[in-house]
């Protein structure tokens, strides 16, 4: 390091004072001054989690990097700092994960004149994490980082659905989770949501009826009603009832949302469930995948004033829950053969060694491979939850 003092403190002050679109310029200046960096790039994961897209003043003015086959992609997947020789074997390139509380955003790629020491790597990793937090705040005021994630234009319905999400990952000592939507750029009515507190983790996976804008509006109303009830302190049965009433009042039963609503009690692993439709929960325990059966209840908004009843089950340390919409478990390949539970079970087992966020992406990728790179006929959601609490 070439400047006296704490680089993280210098960067933090500069980032907070900068314009929202200028965060990369601030980090680049810090790394040039403190580490003699000769090149600094911010690569953000695209909506499909298949490419790392360079952030530039105009989107798509630099080629993206595939996540599957590059060092930057491996650093993103493993959430580890990785180094490789610089161009023409001059210097070293360090790839630093940019993430916020388990939500993977991208990679900060830095060309340095020599390999950093362990202490320097820790400082660099801290700068990348700080940048991630500032990116989340900056997205309220600029489109630059959202534009950079797009390999193609989003449909309006997809724009609405992605803006509705809480993120694509979250982690605490007690649990880690990740979620993914497909088709990423034209998603219609499927969605997921979660919220964490000191005592509970609440997760919902929703399958909205129909396609396009109508389905997105329907799901938006359902998620907003569930959030409104949750934030009022209601239990999950009352959350479902309030959302049911809101949807029925708007659509009169002609439109409804199939939803699986779960609330995990952090201290005990007890899970309350409202099964109001087609999303399914599968549990991976000791290498065996099992469908968790619930009493089926009516979808939200199908009838007026439906009475929802909470059911319960228990999660144990080491359990992985995979929640999927019907676009996953009933998907059909171009040949007409259904993806089915056998392929899904195999995919869950095959991804068992991956972190929750990466496992959700891997299961979706397997589904896309099954479709032979053709568009999915229905929206698909995968949410993966790893339970770690003793």
Greatest CA separation for the chain: 69
Q: What are the tens digits of pLDDT across the range 248-286? A: 999 999 999 999 999 999 999 999 999 999 899 999 999
The answer to whether the CB of 269 falls within 8 A of the CB of 385 is no
The answer to whether the CB of 331 falls within 8 A of the CB of 354 is no
Q: What are the tens digits of pLDDT across the range 90-113? A: 899 999 999 999 999 999 999 999
Q: Own/partner pairs for 287-293, CB < 8 Å, 24+ apart?
A: 287/349, 287/352, 289/345, 289/348, 289/349, 291/341, 292/321
Q: What are the tens digits of pLDDT across the range 299-329? A: 999 999 999 999 999 999 999 999 999 888 7
Q: What is the dihedral of CA 260, 351, 364, 59, to 10 degrees?
A: 120
Predicted TM-score (pTM) of the model is 0.92
Q: Is 352 left (phi over 0), alpha (psi -120 to 50) or beta?
A: alpha
Query: Which SS3 state, helix, strand or coil, does residue 5 take?
Result: coil
Q: What are the tens digits of pLDDT across the range 161-177? A: 999 999 999 999 999 99
> In the chain, how many H helices and how many E strands?
11, 17
Q: Is 231 exposed, middle or buried (0-12, 13-18, 19+ CB in 10 A)?
A: exposed
């Amino acid at each position: 390091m070439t400047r006296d003092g704490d680089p993280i403190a210098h960067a933090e002050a500069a980032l907070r004072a900068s314009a929202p679109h200028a965060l990369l310029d601030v980090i680049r200046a810090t790394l040039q001054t403190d580490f003699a960096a000769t090149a600094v790039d911010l690569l953000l994961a695209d909506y499909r989690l298949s490419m790392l897209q360079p952030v530039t003043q105009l989107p798509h003015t630099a080629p993206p990097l595939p996540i599957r086959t590059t060092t930057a992609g491996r650093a993103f997947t493993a959430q580890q700092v990785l180094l490789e020789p610089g161009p023409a074997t001059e210097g070293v390139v360090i790839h630093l994960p940019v993430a916020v509380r388990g939500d993977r955003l991208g990679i900060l790629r830095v060309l340095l004149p020599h390999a950093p020491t362990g202490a320097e790597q820790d400082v660099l990793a801290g700068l990348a994490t700080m940048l991630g937090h500032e990116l989340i705040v900056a997205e309220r005021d600029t489109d630059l980082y959202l534009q950079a994630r797009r390999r193609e234009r989003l449909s309006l319905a997809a724009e609405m659905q992605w803006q509705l999400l809480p993120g694509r990952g979250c982690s605490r000592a007690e649990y880690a989770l990740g979620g993914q939507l497909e088709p990423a750029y034209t998603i219609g009515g499927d969605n997921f949501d979660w919220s964490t507190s000191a005592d509970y983790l609440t997760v919902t996976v929703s399958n909205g009826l129909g396609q396009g804008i109508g389905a997105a509006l329907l799901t938006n109303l359902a998620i907003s009603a569930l959030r409104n009830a949750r934030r009022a302190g209601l239990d999950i049965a009352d959350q479902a009832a309030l959302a049911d009433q809101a949807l029925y009042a708007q659509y009169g039963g002609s439109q409804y949302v199939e939803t699986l609503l779960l609330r995990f009690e952090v201290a005990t692993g007890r899970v309350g469930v409202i099964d109001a439709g087609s999303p399914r929960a599968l549990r991976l325990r000791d290498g065996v995948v099992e469908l968790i059966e619930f009493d089926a209840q009516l979808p939200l908004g199908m009838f007026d004033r439906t009475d929802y009843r909470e059911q319960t089950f228990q999660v144990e340390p080491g359990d992985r829950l995979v929640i999927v919409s019907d676009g996953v478990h009933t998907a059909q390949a171009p040949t007409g053969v259904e993806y089915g539970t056998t392929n899904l079970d195999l995919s869950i087992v095959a991804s068992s060694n991956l972190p929750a966020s990466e496992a959700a992406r891997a299961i979706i990728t397997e589904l896309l491979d099954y479709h032979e790179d053709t568009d999915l006929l229905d929206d698909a959601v995968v949410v993966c939850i790893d339970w770690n609490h003793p």
